[in-house]
Amino acid sequence: MIKFTNVEKIYSDRNKSLHDINLGISQGEFIFLVGHSGAGKSTILKILTREEKVSSGRISVLGQDLSKIKHRKIHSYRRNLGIIFQDFRILREKTVYENVEIAMRAVGAKSKDIKPRVMEVLSKVKIADKYNKYPDELSGGELQRVAIARAIVNRPSIIIADECTGNLDRENSIGILNILNDINKEGVTVIMATHDNELINLFPKRVIQLENGKIIKDTKREMYEVIV
Ligand SMILES: Nc1ncnc2c1ncn2[C@@H]1O[C@H](COP(=O)(O)OP(=O)(O)OP(=O)(O)O)[C@@H](O)[C@H]1O
């Protein structure tokens, strides 16, 4: 479903951010992307969202070659993705409900479908009781749950999360991981960049480790090597 083939990313002459990345991810996998600061985690995620283009190599996602995708098609490609950030990116002047509703309106959802679906996803992330609150009235953990509701409301195939627990305490981080785990069990692929080793140990998943723009460890690959 996601395939990186000999992917290189060079931001400038001296700065090679990704080196010969070869990687396959199947639908329904849950991946932790780890590595030191500057290892290339965000660059991989930005290539997946097509915020950045590869410098060479090929990247295909859900049957689309992102190295060749036309500019006007990027918008519809991104409808397959739910993106979650460390800093939540919730609109301050809108309520919880409106923050999620806006994502459905943006894709032209029918008015009659909006309310039930927004309330359904708010219930799923356990924030439905605060649907009428403004972001300033919510905690960081609650804000991130709203961001997840917004990310899943249009039923994406892939969730992309960049350090989405980076601003949260342990309890809230575990809460967010439990929600992502439940979403993953419904078949949604989750790719999450994190520095949090404790969280990785609590949720045993495929871990891809980057160093200086190269994959230096892939637990799944190693498991296969042991089995074969
Ligand atoms: N827009 C950019 N222009 C130039 N260089 C960049 C740009 N974005 C990232 N880089 C460089 O690419 C390399 C990888 O950066 P990236 O942000 O992918 O790392 P990361 O693993 O996500 O780090 P962190 O954990 O600190 O977020 C770094 O050397 C970084 O300085």
Q: Mention every residue, 6+ apart, whose C-beta is less than 8 A from residue 42.
A: 162, 193
pTM: 0.93
Q: What whole-number distance in Å separates Cα of residue 224 and Cα of residue 89? A: 38
User: Would you list the domain boundaries of the chain?
Assistant: 28-51+80-227
- What is the ipTM for the molecules in this complex? 0.95
Distance 57 CA to ligand 1 centre (A): 19
Which residue has its alpha carbon closest to ligand 1 atom 9? 43
Ligand 1 atom nearest 39 alpha carbon: 21
CA angle 56, 38, 222 (to 5 degrees): 75
* DSSP summary character for residue 128: G
pLDDT tens series, the chain, 228 aa: 999 999 999 998 677 799 999 999 999 999 999 999 999 999 999 999 999 999 999 999 999 999 899 999 999 999 999 999 999 999 999 999 999 999 999 999 999 999 999 999 999 999 999 999 999 999 999 999 999 999 999 999 999 999 999 999 999 999 999 999 999 999 999 999 999 999 999 999 999 999 999 999 998 766 655 544
Helices (H) and strands (E) in the chain, counts: 8, 10
Question: Which residues line the pocket of ligand 1, CB cutoff 6 A?
Answer: 11-12, 15, 17, 35, 37-43
Q: Which residue has the tokens 């709203």?
A: 146
The fold of 28-51+80-227 is Rossmann fold (3.40.50)
Protein residue closest via CA to atom 18 of ligand 1: 40
> Quick one: angle between helices 140-152 and 170-185, nearest 10?
10
What atom of ligand 1 comes closest to residue 193's alpha carbon? 22
